[in-house]
Amino acid sequence: MTTEPQTQHETNKNHAAQDEALTAYQNGDYATALAAWQPLADAGDAQAQFNLAIMYHNGQGTEPDAAKALAYCTLAADNDIPPAQHYLGYLLMDEEIGTPNPEKAAQYWQRAAEHGIDDAQYQLGLLYTQGIGVPQDPDTAADWYEAAALQGHSHAQYNLGVLYANAGQYAHARHWWNKAQAQNPDAQAALAKLDEMGL
């Protein structure tokens, strides 16, 4: 997953330092960005904490440090930064960082999903479909897929179509696969299969 640091003035007291750090980051001067965000993050600035999490995870301005990425992202997520909650879900599922923790990932994706982050909604749909970290629940999966699908998330649109097709509701499946087909080759193949079957 690729995420870029950002500034969020309404949650940051030191606008000039945030802007300086973001400008440095956008110009590829990662060492300056890291140095500017570090004291803000250590002082409790949630957006700076999230930005550092991204930099430590990606090794920008520093060597990659999964432990610091996880620690800073957790601080930011617990301070109600929805993109941090979303990102933390991925970190918690990353085998390269440690033993995956799908239960915690589900909790953070839930928080991000409730803030309208479409990919967090999609990830929850996957977890509920497969019963990973949460009880298997196709109805809840469908609800989260639909929330993401309505925002244009093509994988959610495809998966929602699969749920409808598995339930024999081919018109609904076709509707969602039509929406997904421009960005999702699986949806194109599914539509072709429906046509082949005359459904």
Query: What pLDDT, on the 0 to 100 scale, is given for residue 6?
Result: 58
Give the per-residue pLDDT at 10: 43
Digit-coded pLDDT (tens) for 89-99: 999 999 988 89
How far is Cα 199 from Cα 179, in angstroms, rounded to an integer? 17
Q: SS3 for 126?
A: helix
pLDDT tens for each residue of 122-174: 999 999 999 999 999 999 999 999 999 999 999 999 999 999 999 999 999 99
- What's the whole-number average pLDDT of the chain? 93
Global pTM reads 0.88
Contacts of 23 (CB under 8 A, 6+ apart): none
At 15, the pLDDT band (50, 70, 90 cuts) reads confident
Query: Distance between terminal CA atoms of the chain?
Result: 36
- The pLDDT confidence band at residue 13, using thresholds 50, 70 and 90, is low
User: Mind listing the domains of the chain with CATH numbers?
Assistant: 11-115 (1.25.40.10), 141-199 (1.25.40.10)
CA distance 29 to 52: 14
pLDDT in tens, 48-66: 999 999 999 999 999 999 9
Q: pLDDT value at position 1?
A: 60
